[in-house]
Structure 1
Amino acid sequence: MAITDKEIKEIRKALDESVRPLFFFDDDPDGTCSFVQLYRYKGEGKGIILKAGSELREGFARKVEEYQPDLVVILDIPLVSQDFIDQVKQKIIWIDHHPPVKRKKIHYYNPRLHNDEDNRPTAYWAWKVAKKDLWIGMLGSVADWQLVDIKNEFAKKYPDYFDIKIQKPDDALFETKIGLLAKIVSFNLKGGVNDSMKSIKTFTRIEHPDEILKQTTPGGKYLYKKYESFNQEYKRLLNDAKPTKEKLLLYIYTYSNTAVTSDLSNELLHKFPDKFILVGRIKSEEVKMSIRSATTKVHPILMKALEEIDGFGGGHDFACGACVKERDFERFVEIIKEELKK
């Protein structure tokens, strides 16, 4: 099973009845595409991107108090603190696809509550609710390393962007135009909150993907230009990451203007599918990292390492993010290597 038709109708009804919704969403293409679809469907409201970790904490209740919405919608955020929920008086809808958690006083929609193997991305479920922007639903899904059941319809409507013969999610992400769009959106989320939200506001006004790739409108040109400003540094980092004979492909880079650990880890996994990928970025005496594998479950290995190391992290079975102190990173890597030998 998945998020049921009844649940989809419940979400749509709540949006239809709202006149001032407030959206919180994750700072990746899946979360962003989820927000953009529901915002374009509703035509009202405000979005707040979550850049501070993977949990919507108590402090964000102040944003609700300031905006005074009649509905709060949380999209693609793995964790929401009970303290946040308790402080918010308005109805809260939470749509996610990460490992389920238990919370009170919230309307929680997660396909994994029905079937733990069904982790189709939030952008897909946002499309099921809005049924408005097929290309944005597909973009968010491909960016999250998934090919969902809208791919045939998308291929017919946008044949230049996706070949129906493609069966592997990483081929879709790195060898098609819809995959390039996913990278463009990802790079437009780099930088501070204001910069990211400026790009997202521009994205909400794009009607066709050609506006971006062919730069046919001022908005499309803006998004493409920002992508190019990051892409040169990204390509340098990608070429610098080299595999060894070990199972672990470890690549660490120091702080720069380009925070691309997730993008790098995804593309390195596409290039080296037999490797266990760990890409880290050193900043402020911490190593912030993305960990990927095509064959070995990442999440239990990460949880094992964090039992001994002071840090935090989480995510999906085969794709996680984490952060540890730089002084503990060597031991963190040792534990991962030990687990990979088992």
Structure 2
Amino acid sequence: MALSHIQIKQIREHLDNCKKPLIFFDDDQDGLCSFLQFYRYKQEGKGIIVKTAPKLSAVFLNKVTEYQPDKIFILDVALVEQGFLDEVKVPVVWVDHHGPFKMDNVKYFNPRISNWEDNHPTSYMCYQVVGNDLWIAAIGCIADWFLPPFLSDFKKEFPDLIDKPYKTAGDIIYNTKFGELVKIFSFVLKGRTEEVMKLIKILTRIKSPYEILNQETAQGKFIYKRYEYVNKIFEPLRKESLMAIEKSNDKIAIFTYKDDKSSFTSELSNEAIYKHPDKIILIAREKNDEMKCSLRSTKIILPPIIEKALVGLDGYGGGHEHACGLNIKTYHFNEFLRRFKGMV
């Protein structure tokens, strides 16, 4: 169900009754597509991508001070510090599908409050609110491994993009032309924040997915060229990780690599779990003195195990039942692995 009719109306009224919204959003396709839908509907405001960690902390208060918004929207961000909410002096609307959490000084919309198993992506809820940009909503949902109810409408409008049978979102991502769009929206988010926001600004003006896929306009061509550039970095890593996981005889397949520029742990772990659903996947990127990890499983509920394995260690992690992120200091990584393996 996601949002109720009353909640949809409430969020839309919040959007309609502001002139200078500041929109914080997560740095994945679900977060990006949520922002794009709200911004394209409103045609006003400013977006801030939350890249440093999956939480909105007091560090971002300077962005509020700089922009002086009349309303703040938080989209698909898993955690928001109470200190942030206490300091801002304008209404805050938080739409998300993680948690849920009990917070003060915020209008919080999360389907998991009424139904713990309701995990509709934020981009789906944003589509419920604005009803525009079907193709953008579809990218956000399918990238989040969710088959939206409106997928039949999407296929009627864009029949060539999903032209093969499918049972799961993974079938669409890895076996159809639509999957390239999912990948493009992922790669748009790679790189320095300044570069990323420039690309996102272009996406706010793209009218059709074919502009990008067929490079029909200068804007679409610019986005596609960026995708090709990032893909040249990604492909060797993708092949190396899949080969390592294929060779692994352990129930937990682990692949680590070093990179201080772009993270591909989510993309690598998603494809690995699609191709090896019987395994637990852990992809870790070493950056400075930290291991930044993505974990995937089709059967085991990961967050409580991660939480227990992290006790007393210098790290944090969490996420959805079968897809989690983890940051841990390098000197504690092996101890975490030892505990994690023992628990599963």
- TM-score grouping bracket, smaller chain normalisation: over 0.9
Matches within 5 A, 1:1-342: 1-163=1-163, 165-241=165-241, 242-243=244-245, 244-340=248-344
Over aligned residue pairs, what C-alpha RMSD do you find?
1.2
Name the aligned partner's letter for residue 160 of structure 2. Answer: D
> SS of the counterpart of 1:89?
coil
Equivalent-residue separation in structure 2 for 1:293 and 1:299 (angstroms): 11
- 4+ runs deviating over 4 angstroms: none
Aligned-pair CA distance for 1:185:
0.8
Deviates more, 1:188-197 or 1:156-165: 156-165
Structure-2-length-normalised TM-score: 0.96
Name the aligned partner's letter for residue 71 of structure 2. Answer: L
Aligned-pair CA distance for 1:257:
3.6
Equivalent-residue separation in structure 1 for 2:150 and 2:178 (angstroms): 13
> SS of the counterpart of 2:25?
strand
Q: Judge conservation of contact 2:54–2:79 (CA < 8 Å) in 1.
A: yes
Q: Judge conservation of contact 1:238–1:268 (CA < 8 Å) in 2.
A: no
Equivalent-residue separation in structure 1 for 2:222 and 2:286 (angstroms): 29
Aligned-pair CA distance for 1:103:
0.4
Deviates more, 1:107-116 or 1:57-66: 57-66
CA deviation vs aligned residue, 1:289-315 (integer Å, no higher than 9, x gap)? 111111211212211211142101111
CA deviation vs aligned residue, 1:212-255 (integer Å, no higher than 9, x gap)? 11111111111111111111221111111222111111000012
Q: Judge conservation of contact 1:288–1:324 (CA < 8 Å) in 2.
A: yes
> SS of the counterpart of 2:310?
helix
Q: Judge conservation of contact 1:30–1:123 (CA < 8 Å) in 2.
A: yes
Q: Judge conservation of contact 2:3–2:128 (CA < 8 Å) in 1.
A: no
Aligned-pair CA distance for 1:22:
0.7
Identity among equivalent positions (%) equals 46
CA deviation vs aligned residue, 1:260-291 (integer Å, no higher than 9, x gap)? 01111101111111110000100111100111
Aligned-pair CA distance for 1:177:
2.2
Q: Judge conservation of contact 1:54–1:79 (CA < 8 Å) in 2.
A: yes
> SS of the counterpart of 1:73?
strand
Give the direction of change, closer, same or farther, for the CA distance of 1:55–1:4 in structure 2 (3 Å limit): same
Equivalent-residue separation in structure 2 for 1:29 and 1:182 (angstroms): 7
Equivalent-residue separation in structure 2 for 1:111 and 1:117 (angstroms): 9
Equivalent-residue separation in structure 2 for 1:97 and 1:64 (angstroms): 24
Structure-1-length-normalised TM-score: 0.97
Equivalent-residue separation in structure 2 for 1:283 and 1:209 (angstroms): 34
CA deviation vs aligned residue, 1:79-111 (integer Å, no higher than 9, x gap)? 111111111111110000001001011100001
Equivalent-residue separation in structure 2 for 1:97 and 1:192 (angstroms): 27
> SS of the counterpart of 2:32?
helix
Equivalent-residue separation in structure 2 for 1:254 and 1:231 (angstroms): 17
Equivalent-residue separation in structure 2 for 1:3 and 1:164 (angstroms): 30
Equivalent-residue separation in structure 2 for 1:223 and 1:202 (angstroms): 8
Q: Judge conservation of contact 2:256–2:285 (CA < 8 Å) in 1.
A: yes
Deviates more, 1:301-310 or 1:275-284: 301-310
Equivalent-residue separation in structure 1 for 2:20 and 2:63 (angstroms): 14
> SS of the counterpart of 1:160?
coil
Q: Judge conservation of contact 1:25–1:75 (CA < 8 Å) in 2.
A: yes
Equivalent-residue separation in structure 2 for 1:303 and 1:139 (angstroms): 31
Aligned-pair CA distance for 1:164:
7.6
Give the direction of change, closer, same or farther, for the CA distance of 1:71–1:294 in structure 2 (3 Å limit): same
> SS of the counterpart of 1:307?
coil
Q: Judge conservation of contact 2:2–2:125 (CA < 8 Å) in 1.
A: no
